[in-house]
Structure 1
């Protein structure tokens, strides 16, 4: 619906201000240089490789930042509960109080956009462009998730509380799992039940070898070739890869695909910026640098940015690597006629589906078997380890999806007809969950997703997961089935948003989308 001139001008002003606020929100997190000190005793339980890497102050204390390679191993492995609590509390507040003010202004401006378009809420404004089409569909979906995940979350927390009681000597009724406990006791339970130690897995997954393995798997599955190329780079750690079609590949119905020159001329390019450094973006993400346009001969380029340990990855990080590379592939394998349809410019609640599907290649024997040609002297991954990884990943689904449900519900509340102040809404909603709200914490000030493009769309992670698991079913028992992989490339990845996502997915599946596998998955059974 078009706007009259005065409203159109106000929309332009709001859009510019929202861009400024989103950038400030991210900058306040990225440039937070707070450092915490912990004694060596408080670091009991941390792997020696972590202790060797982190800096020390003049008194010999360990000095840590909010970077993932510092924080995640600590919260998963430090035996000292008070030390975990202190780090978790600071990390949860790393956005600073200023970001709460920024987010409140963002929410108010989004509501004003809804008013300009004369729709009840910002959620109505956003969802009409998504697969769900209405906020009511989102809320029904979240209710279905809640009906499944609530008991699963309580079951998981009960198992963790029993382990905490066993390890601390507390009566089980007093061994309540706090937010800074969940990751620690989950790792201990993984070790106890499944003999899975995430930190110990780093020796199985050396980082450079995992990148080579990922490119190998991708090449086989989608008919590609990757070659390192010399181009201007912004840091010595960054590498650039040209992407080519492998010989004989015809990945699209467009006449130019599969022609001889398509096998000698790059179809796109990829930047890989994998390791942490001061001032760098703190998370893992993929960005389109340049979108494709077959009409003008414009080739796509995407960038993968992570903050991985240089020596090796945990299994969780292998999944993250594949997830983000899935976004990269959605960009560089796009072959749309118009730039506006390129890559990940799909409905927001579909954009995560190809990436979430690709995570599964981190947990299958067929794909992991290819690792032997890349890892050198690293320990071999056998079928027993793969099965234990898969079993350990199932535990904790209740806690994980309980949190995802909270994030999505909070996002929809801020995009509703009566949003309220962000911290007030959050403390009330988190307070109603099994682990409750911790006084003094300001998580909304760190929630970059809803300060940027995922507003009224965070539910899309779970919505897309349902689609991802359904797409995965097309591969059957062999996840390295290159015939299916190339069909997926042609029918999904290459098409961008040339057609609605539902149309493309159901054409690929040759049936309507189903959510059965997703609800089994989030139940953790």
Structure 2
């Protein structure tokens, strides 16, 4: 099969190209909807094809505007992308309230949809028809004119607020200036990359390549605390007001649609099913992780008290430093020793080699025009046939998205368009910490899901299109391949070309197992914050944050900070940060089907690729997992991981 060419990006005049691209997509969607409104009654398959044309066009415009607003180096392009993203959101809202289009879908003869959908044996057409009708109900199609108008206003305003919230985090890079002696403990290559200024002081920023090593290695506790305080007050106070309005509007929307609040509205289309179930899930994990978390916390605190006898706890300014110190002393694992085996260029090459062998793929480098010279691109081939294209944008720069995520550039649609995805991260250009390596594997898992799940007839089900509390599971599972000694020896080499010793990897794993329950408790704090802010709409968000951190996280609140203002997941994930632990339950169960002694074994890897990743969103996530495992997923493997077994 010959696929269409990938999306052609411009060499210059990005604003002109963006406007033309979005205008064409909006026009294509409008044309399809006109045909739906005006054509005589027809069979459901013909209606769905027109809907698919609209879906593909809106998705295309949404992807390119979302990506460019976060990665383009020119602020004018980022601003234009945000503006056009609002146009796309308005068009999507209007479609969701279009009574004539809804009637065309509702009244079409859906008899025999599955039989007509011969290319999708799992009745994807019937599933699409059901999902469209469900979406119309959730958009308020049965509400009165005044309510629909208010819902449209809310959607438009929340789009702007989401963008403002994200921009506030992206653009607020803070820093401290420290004396040379305050760099004691940091890696030599990091120090070399941070020369002192004319005043004799060194600038340390809140961007990841500065923040993570400084917080982990700097021996000067006051300097660590100063940087952590800056990091946890990014986008404050502006984003506090933005978030407050966003929470209120989400709640209003849910109640206008007949729900008890935003968590119920949001959870209805996820695996978990309801808002209260989120709270129950958080409490259940808090209970099973409590004893182990307290044990590890006490050990960490005891180590800190060797240096500071009067210390009463740990927080973000001390926990990572003492965790690293304890791992070095107890397990003989020095992260600075480990990182010398993880040169960025070798790690990136190793990632492609590992995933290529695992899933039967090849990566062909592409000299492609992109938005920045740092971006590297590859065509993805399976059985010699190009099935997609990937772009890796992996280093920080001014104005760029500050975290790590996979963005769509184009959703794959069978016989029409290749899937294209972008990995956006903020890694150093030289040596990487091992946790950065696992993050790269994690995010690449999303990218693979996007490409391998991109051969779909229906745009709605292309790529990472499953329930949102499943989407992290494939990426979390891929992290396991960054912990295997035999696999790491293929690309984890020091400057002399010597591979990382297997004994060191064994000790790294043992060290990583320390603090697992503490990590879970911190994640439960984030989950509870995400859920409770949307459930209760507290008058003082910082006050509620402090309360929830004290309840779930054993690490204390850093005085004077307002972490919620830069908690980016409150945008896209809203009340559903719990999904990271929900997905991790599934990821640990998925990995139990692989042989730890041979992670390249073809049978489970190809079965996983074909039954979990390739279907995209054509089936419920629980069914995909059950098809792969031969049973419904459960929490046993997660429990063993939590217990260190």
Give me the TM-score of the superposition, normalised by structure 1.
0.92
Assess if the C-alpha contact under 8 Å between 1:365 and 1:386 holds in 2.
Answer: yes
Q: Secondary structure at the match of 1:141?
A: helix
1:136-171, Cα deviation, whole Å (9 max, x unpaired): 322222111011222222212211111112234x26
Assess if the C-alpha contact under 8 Å between 2:173 and 2:207 holds in 1.
Answer: no
Measured in 1, the distance between the counterparts of 2:166 and 2:338 equals 32
How many residue pairs align between the two structures?
Answer: 502
The unaligned stretches of length 5 or more in structure 2 are: 1-136
Please tell me whether residue 268 in structure 1 is matched to residue 391 in structure 2: no
> How far has the Cα of 1:375 moved from its partner?
7.0
Structure 1 pair 443–480 and aligned structure 2 pair: CA distance change class (3 A): same
Matches within 5 A, 1:45-60: 45-60=185-200
Please tell me whether residue 282 in structure 1 is matched to residue 419 in structure 2: no
Q: Secondary structure at the match of 1:228?
A: strand
Measured in 1, the distance between the counterparts of 2:191 and 2:485 equals 33
1:184-219, Cα deviation, whole Å (9 max, x unpaired): 000001111122222322211111111111111111
1:95 equivalent among 212, 230, 235: 235
1:384 equivalent among 503, 517, 522: 503
Measured in 2, the distance between the counterparts of 1:130 and 1:421 equals 29
> How far has the Cα of 1:13 moved from its partner?
1.6
Matches within 5 A, 1:109-508: 109-168=249-308, 170=309, 174-246=311-383, 263-264=384-385, 266-294=386-414, 296-334=415-453, 335-371=455-491, 377-416=496-535, 419-432=538-551, 433-450=553-570, 452-477=571-596, 478-508=598-628
After superposing the two structures, state which structure 1 stretch, 197-206 or 282-291, moved more: 197-206
After superposing the two structures, state which structure 1 stretch, 58-67 or 409-418, moved more: 409-418
After superposing the two structures, state which structure 1 stretch, 118-127 or 430-439, moved more: 430-439
Measured in 2, the distance between the counterparts of 1:227 and 1:474 equals 30
> How far has the Cα of 1:418 moved from its partner?
5.1
Report what 2:161 is aligned to: 21
Report what 1:257 is aligned to: none
After superposing the two structures, state which structure 1 stretch, 515-524 or 374-383, moved more: 374-383
> How far has the Cα of 1:377 moved from its partner?
3.1
Assess if the C-alpha contact under 8 Å between 1:152 and 1:524 holds in 2.
Answer: no
Q: Secondary structure at the match of 1:492?
A: helix
Measured in 2, the distance between the counterparts of 1:99 and 1:48 equals 36
Measured in 2, the distance between the counterparts of 1:17 and 1:378 equals 55
Give me the TM-score of the superposition, normalised by structure 2.
0.75
Report what 1:259 is aligned to: none
Measured in 2, the distance between the counterparts of 1:227 and 1:421 equals 52
1:398-419, Cα deviation, whole Å (9 max, x unpaired): 2211110011111111221555
> How far has the Cα of 1:55 moved from its partner?
4.1
Measured in 2, the distance between the counterparts of 1:316 and 1:513 equals 27
> How far has the Cα of 1:29 moved from its partner?
1.6
**Larger-Rg structure:** 2
Assess if the C-alpha contact under 8 Å between 2:173 and 2:234 holds in 1.
Answer: no
1:408-445, Cα deviation, whole Å (9 max, x unpaired): 11111122155544223212222334333333210110
Measured in 1, the distance between the counterparts of 2:460 and 2:342 equals 38
Measured in 1, the distance between the counterparts of 2:321 and 2:556 equals 18
Measured in 1, the distance between the counterparts of 2:474 and 2:517 equals 23
Measured in 1, the distance between the counterparts of 2:495 and 2:510 equals 27
Structure 1 pair 178–415 and aligned structure 2 pair: CA distance change class (3 A): closer
Measured in 1, the distance between the counterparts of 2:377 and 2:294 equals 46
RMSD after superposition: 1.7
Q: Secondary structure at the match of 1:64?
A: strand
1:50-87, Cα deviation, whole Å (9 max, x unpaired): 11112422121110211101011101111111111111
Measured in 2, the distance between the counterparts of 1:129 and 1:204 equals 43
The unaligned stretches of length 5 or more in structure 1 are: 247-262
Assess if the C-alpha contact under 8 Å between 1:127 and 1:134 holds in 2.
Answer: yes
Larger relative contact order, structure 1 or 2 (CA cutoff 8 Å, min sep 6): 1
Q: Secondary structure at the match of 2:269?
A: coil
> How far has the Cα of 1:317 moved from its partner?
0.7
Assess if the C-alpha contact under 8 Å between 1:120 and 1:417 holds in 2.
Answer: no
Structure 1 pair 8–501 and aligned structure 2 pair: CA distance change class (3 A): same
1:425-484, Cα deviation, whole Å (9 max, x unpaired): 21222233433333321011011101x221121100000000001000111232211221
Structure 1 pair 34–136 and aligned structure 2 pair: CA distance change class (3 A): closer
Report what 2:60 is aligned to: none
Q: Secondary structure at the match of 2:522?
A: helix
Assess if the C-alpha contact under 8 Å between 1:207 and 1:313 holds in 2.
Answer: yes
Please tell me whether residue 34 in structure 1 is matched to residue 154 in structure 2: no
> How far has the Cα of 1:311 moved from its partner?
1.1
Assess if the C-alpha contact under 8 Å between 2:441 and 2:478 holds in 1.
Answer: yes
